[in-house]
């Protein structure tokens, strides 16, 4: 599994780095001005999108804690 964070905190780019550090996660992050999120149908933050190995996207609008993020990833892995 590959993880890439797409941070849309345009006014505060350091916020995504802070969240990754708080949760002890270590993965690449890119700054997005909205183009990437639009492709996933995300219209507000916070939001999470997972793309499984088959290219199917599972999106969650709203806050998720770390357990919720892992649950979303697990769900995406079972979608065919």
pLDDT at res. 13: 66
11: pLDDT confidence band, cut at 50, 70 and 90?
low
Q: What is the DSSP string of 44-77?
A: SSSEEEEE-TTS-EEEEES---HHHHHHHHHHHH
Q: Which residues pair with 28 in a beta bridge?
A: 4
Domain count of the fold of the chain: 1
CA 17, CA 28: separation in Å to the nearest integer? 10
Q: Are 40 and 55 in contact (CB under 8 A)?
A: no
Domain extent, residue 12, equals 4-78
pLDDT of residue 16: 67
Answer whether residue 67 shows pLDDT above 80: yes
Q: Cα-flanking dihedrals φ and ψ of residue 25, to 5°? A: -90, 150
CATH value at residue 23: 3.40.30
pTM for the whole structure = 0.67
């Amino acid at each position: 599994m590959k993880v890439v964070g797409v941070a849309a905190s345009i006014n505060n780019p350091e916020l995504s780095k802070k969240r990754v550090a708080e949760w002890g996660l270590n993965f690449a992050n890119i700054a997005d001005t909205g183009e990437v999120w639009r492709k996933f149908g995300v219209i507000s933050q916070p939001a999470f999108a997972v793309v499984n190995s088959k290219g199917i996207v599972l999106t969650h609008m709203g806050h998720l804690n770390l357990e919720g993020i892992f649950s979303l990833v697990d769900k995406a892995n079972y979608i065919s």
